[in-house]
């Protein structure tokens, strides 16, 4: 799980997150509590946590569909695979990950973290 921990650490708002050992439920509870306590800071942390949880808890068939669509530059199928990722989520306290909303909300550092992953997506 070191890969997911390294990915999570690329988001500035997750710098203090309890990531090691990786426990999705513990991470979700921490992120939700911090986000609820600091709502005046915005939604960046919530979206970052939801993104990490989405990457760590994704069915493999969706992963291969997304990789194939990206390789073949089939935009419709990329969008469809991303929608499947949203639907396939466990219900987390931080909510499900919505890439469009997150990108519109995040600052440059958070967008850069996500886009670096999105260039060559992987899932646990």
Q: State the Cα–Cα distance between residues 95 and 37, nearest whole angstrom.
A: 16
How far does Cα 98 stand from its chain's mean position? 9
For the four alpha carbons of 67, 97, 107 and 11, in that order, the dihedral sign comes to negative
pTM of this structure: 0.74
pLDDT digits (tens, 9 = 90+) for 57-78: 765 566 666 777 777 776 666 6
pLDDT tens digits, 95-108: 889 999 999 999 99
Q: How far is the C-alpha of 107 from the C-alpha of 44, rounded, in Å?
A: 8
């Amino acid at each position: 799980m070191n890969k997911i921990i390294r990915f999570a650490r690329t988001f500035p708002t997750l710098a203090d997150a309890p990531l090691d050992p990786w426990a999705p439920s513990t991470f979700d509870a921490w992120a939700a509590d911090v986000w609820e306590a600091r709502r005046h800071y915005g939604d960046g942390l919530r979206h970052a946590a939801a993104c990490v949880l989405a990457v760590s808890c994704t069915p493999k068939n969706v992963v291969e569909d997304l990789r194939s669509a990206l390789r073949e530059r089939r935009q419709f199928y990329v969008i469809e695979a991303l929608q499947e990722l949203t639907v396939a989520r466990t219900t987390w306290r931080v909510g499900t990950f919505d890439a469009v909303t997150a990108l519109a909300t995040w600052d440059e550092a958070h967008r850069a973290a996500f886009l670096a992953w999105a260039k060559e997506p992987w899932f646990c």
